[in-house]
Structure formats: C-alpha cells, structure tokens
C-alpha cells in the first residue's frame, strides 16, 4: 500500500481474509482497495491448486454443468495425489519429539530410532488431514478425498459415461463400503452396462486403492508402536461424512426425466451442511424463564424470532458493569473509535479478553464468566428454536457499546450501523445479495442480546427493501434477544444512538466448523482450566430445563 501497489495490497488483504474470515476490519480494507483501484480480480496467494480445482468442480456441479465439473474434479484428484507424494517426502528428516523433554529424554539407541520413525510415520499418516485443510485454517474439509469420487460418479452418469460412473462409485465405496445410496448407484450402473460388457471388469481406481491400503497399514503400525513404546495414540476418523446429518437433503437423480430407480447422490453430496431456511422454526426454547414474543410472521419476514427474559435484570447490570472494565475503543475495527458514524463512540470486547481479565483479577471472575455463559445459552436457544439438525458453531462473539457523542446529535439523519446483510453483499440496483467474499459467507445465524442502557432500536427489514422506514422495528430492552438468519432475507441495521449508550452481546454463528471462532476455542480451553482449578462458573445456570 505504501508503494501504491493497490492490486498487490488487495490480493494480500484477500489472502489474509480467506485464512482469517473472522477478522472484521479486513473486509473494509478490501472494499477500500477495490474502490480506489477499480475492478480487481482478487487472488488468494496461498491457495492450494487442488483445492481451487475441487471448489471450481463443485460450483460447476451445482450448476449442472457436468462436463466442466468432471474436468475440474479430475484435475483436482491429479493434484491431490501429486501433493500427497510431496507431503510424504516432506515428512522425512528431523522430527520434534513432542512427548518428551529433550534434556530428560533417556531412551536407548533402538528406542530412539523407533521413536523417530514413528514420528515420521505419524507425519505421513496425517497427510490426509493436511491436504484437506485450507491455508490458515485448523480444521480439514471432512471426507475430502472421497467426495471427489462421490461427485464424479454422479456427474459421469449424467453425461452418459456409465463405465466411469461405476468406476468412481466403486472408488468411493472403498472409503464407505456401507453407503446405501452409492451401493444402489453401483448396482444401477452395473444394470445399465449388462449386455455390453461385464461390470465386474470395472475396478476401483488404482491410486485410491493404493492410498487407502497404505493408510490402513500406517494406522496399524502406529497402534502397535504406541502399545510397544508406551505412549497414547488415538486414530482420528479421517473419512467422516456430513451425510449423517443431511438425510432430508439426499437428492434422487430422478429429478426431471430420469426414472425413479435412477442413482442417488450419496448423503455426503455437499461438503458442508446447509440449513433448511423455509419453515424450520418454532422449536422449544429450552429454558422456562425465556419468554417468546414474536415469530417470523409477526416480524414481517423469515427466520426471525424475538425473545425476552433471556437474562435477568441483575445479570444485565452485572454484564454492563464488567463491560466498563474490559471495553476497548474501536475493538474489532483496528482502533477506529467511530467506524460506522462520526456521531458515536464504538467500544467492544471479545469473550476471551473478558476471561483473561477475570483470571488476572482486573474484573470479577464470575462476571467475566457470565459473558461466556450468556453466549452459550443464546447458542443453545437459537439451535433449538430454529430446529437445526446440525451443530451451531461460534463465528464471532462480541460485547459492544455505542455511545452518543455530545454536541453531535442535532439533525442527525444517519444510522448507528448502516443496513447490511451478514453473509452476502447487498446490491439494491440488481435486487440481489451476492454471497461471495469479502462478505462473511460462512455465517448462518445472528442473535443480539440487549444488556445495558439501550435507548435505540435495531432495524429488521424484509429482503432488499432498503428504506429507513422499517417493516419491523425492535425496541431494545434488558434481557431481550432478537435472532435471525444471516442471509439476504434479513437485511438489518441500527438506528442512531442520540442519547446515552446502547450495549449488546452480538453473536454470529456458523454451521461450518471450518469457520469456528479461534478465540472461542481458546476461551473454551480457559473455561476448562478454570473448572479444573475449581474457580467456578458464574451463578448463572445455562443448562436447559430438560437437562436439570
């Protein structure tokens, strides 16, 4: 940026954003670069080519462009196996003995040699995870390699290549031999080939068979070595399938002109679970003191709910007190004290910061713990009310306060936070909300919990009605929570704070574990440590009433 290379700066920012999507202010930086430099084709400098090809193949598949999908997915497989060879080679060489202190390590020669090669073997065994993990992320795409064959078996069927379809189906079954849908598919493909060739001559792909055989042998050796050398080894499940959570999304291929007995997509068709946003709401609130106020219909929209008494008056006051001790001006916006309007001061704090301050004695520990407990209670309520069949993960947790600045409130016509959607880019001219970076496309649900001296309402608008005249205006109240899905169906904003202070616990959730909030994972570790040290939870009981 200082050298005025705006396109390079934009690419660097985009690369950082792809690895750190929870970083709030980087989105604004990218938009600034795009505005200044004109049209910019953003490039992720750390992207792995086999993953880029896989993502492109899935996009074409979803558009039913099956020939293009096949080209990219086959290229992704070639790239994957090439990267696997490189990964295996990179594991050769010195290893770090994480189970031992170097100075206290007193193994004999043969034990040291065995220990070294077990470290090498463990590294090679973990290449499956390494190749399925995006740069900068901590979690792999589960079932990554088998998904290639799952997509391909169906795509080849769609283009009429039944031999390749059967070959890919059998390759997939190497990893999941009990997958009923793909077993049926393989039988169906065999029926189509009868009379023209012997289906038994079609075998699974050699490279898949070789990799899986090697992987099983590595697992066996590691378990034997662990028993012999006296350390603990737990074999991860490298081929987890998201399909177990998506039974209702299993899509029969009989759509359109295909016969009903045609092949079905495996339950693992999609690499990431997606919620059914149509009529999935109205589930139990779990806590007897939580009061239902309005549903989506009463709020003139979809996937919305308003609840009261999520926390008590005393908990509101306690949370507001702890906020004054941990808040930092411009937190989350690179120190910009007025990121959305020059007429207000913005302050914020994360849940990890609160716990650290509590542990260090800067604020009461139970008060800091209350912030954590409240956010977990909100997550459980949202997950239950919207009847999700997948786990909700925290994407970002933020305690925020907006304070009206004296002498700047006359004739205000701006908003405290402009109207926006959380996981897509609003385009009123095209009447669309584009789900693409730099938007936080992985966010799925957004609750807001009022906790302080709130004097101005949040706006909830129906899809793409970008007007200051809201269809649903919610007046803040201590303990009140509004929750809604994060897409273009729920544009929202915040009216101007013209007097006093507005505080809220702002939470964003995702169904994609790849985008879990890193600070939340650290906060969970702090909580576990506190529990071990018997430093105790807050006085808030977050267990649902049916678990008491």
Which sequence positions are flagged as catalytic? 502
**Cα torsion angle, 133, 137, 142, 147, sign:** negative
Burial class of residue 360, CB neighbours in 10 A (0-12, 13-18, 19+): exposed
305 backbone dihedrals φ, ψ, rounded to 5° = -155, 145
Judge contact between 252 and 357, C-beta under 8 A. Answer: no
What stretch of H or E contains 503?
strand 501-510
CA 299-304-309 angle, 5° bins: 90
Task: Identify the CA nearest to 490 among candidates 469, 465, 525, 515.
Answer: 465
The encoded tokens of residue 351 equal 């849940």
Whether the Cβ atoms of residue 156 and residue 39 lie closer than 8 Å to each other: no
As beta bridge partners, residue 264 has 252
The tally of CA atoms less than 13 A away on the side-chain side of residue 433 is: 22
Q: 70 with 156: CB under 8 angstroms? A: yes
Q: Do 530 and 359 contact (CB within 8 A), yes or no?
A: yes
Measured CA distances, 12 to 40, 51, 53, 493 (Å): 12, 19, 21, 30
- CA 440 to chain CA centroid, Å, is 10
- The answer for residues whose C-beta is within 8 angstroms of residue 321's C-beta and 6 or more apart is 367
d(CA 472, CA 109): 73
Could you give the CA distance from residue 364 to residue 487 in angstroms, rounded to a whole number?
37
Residue in 506, 537, 524 with CA at minimum distance from that of residue 417: 506
Distance CA(68)–CA(74), nearest Å, equals: 10
CB 507 within 8 A of CB 375: yes
């Amino acid at each position: 940026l200082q050298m005025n290379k705006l396109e390079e700066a934009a690419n660097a920012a985009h690369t950082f954003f792809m690895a750190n999507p929870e970083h709030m202010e980087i989105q604004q930086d990218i938009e600034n670069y795009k505005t200044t430099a004109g049209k910019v084709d953003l490039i992720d400098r750390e992207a792995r080519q086999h993953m880029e090809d896989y993502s492109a193949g899935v996009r074409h598949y979803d558009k039913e462009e099956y020939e293009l999908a096949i080209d990219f997915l086959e290229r992704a497989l070639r790239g994957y196996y090439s990267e696997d060879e490189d990964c295996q080679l990179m594991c050769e060489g010195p290893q770090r003995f994480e189970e031992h202190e170097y100075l206290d390590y007193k193994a004999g020669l043969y034990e040291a040699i065995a220990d070294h090669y077990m470290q090498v073997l463990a590294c090679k065994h973990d290449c499956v995870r390494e190749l399925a993990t995006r740069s900068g992320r901590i979690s792999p795409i589960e079932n990554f390699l088998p998904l290639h064959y799952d997509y391909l078996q169906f795509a080849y069927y769609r283009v009429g290549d039944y031999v390749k379809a059967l070959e890919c189906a059998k390759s997939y079954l190497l990893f999941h031999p009990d997958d009923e849908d793909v077993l049926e598919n393989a039988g169906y493909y065999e029926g189509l080939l009868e009379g023209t060739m012997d289906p038994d001559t079609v075998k699974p792909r050699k490279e898949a068979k070789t990799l899986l055989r090697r992987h099983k042998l590595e697992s066996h050796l590691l378990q034997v070595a662990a028993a012999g050398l006296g350390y603990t080894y737990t074999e991860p499940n490298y081929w987890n399938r998201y399909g177990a959570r998506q039974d209702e999304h299993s899509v029969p291929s009989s759509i359109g002109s295909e016969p009903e007995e045609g092949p079905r997509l495996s339950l693992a068709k999609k690499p990431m679970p997606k919620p059914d946003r149509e009529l999935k709401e109205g589930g139990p609130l779990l806590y007897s003191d939580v009061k239902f106020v309005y549903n989506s219909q009463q709020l003139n929209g979809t996937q919305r709910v308003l609840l009261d008494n999520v926390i008590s008056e005393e908990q509101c006051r306690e949370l507001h007190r702890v906020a004054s001790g941990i808040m930092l001006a411009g937190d989350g916006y690179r120190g910009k004290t007025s990121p959305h309007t020059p007429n207000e001061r913005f302050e914020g704090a994360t849940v990890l910061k609160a716990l650290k301050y509590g542990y260090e004695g800067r604020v009461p520990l139970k008060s800091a713990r209350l912030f954590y407990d409240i956010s977990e209670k909100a997550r459980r309520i949202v997950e239950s009310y919207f009847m999700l069949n997948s786990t909700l993960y925290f994407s970002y947790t933020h305690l925020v306060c907006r304070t009206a600045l004296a002498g700047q409130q006359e004739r205000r016509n701006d908003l405290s936070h402009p109207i926006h959607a959380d996981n897509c880019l609003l385009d009123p001219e095209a009447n669309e909300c584009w789900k693409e970076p730099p938007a936080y496309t992985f966010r799925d649900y957004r609750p807001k919990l009022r906790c302080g001296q709130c004097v101005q309402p949040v706006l909830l608008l129906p899809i793409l009605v970008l007007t200051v005249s809201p269809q649903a205006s919610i007046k803040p109240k201590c303990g009140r929570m509004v929750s809604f899905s994060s897409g273009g169906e729920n544009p929202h904003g915040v009216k101007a704070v013209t007097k006093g202070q507005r505080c809220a616990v702002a939470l964003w959730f995702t169904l994609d574990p790849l985008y879990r909030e890193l600070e939340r994972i650290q906060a969970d570790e702090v909580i576990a440590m506190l529990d071990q040290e018997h430093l105790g939870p807050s006085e808030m009981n977050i267990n649902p009433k049916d678990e008491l």
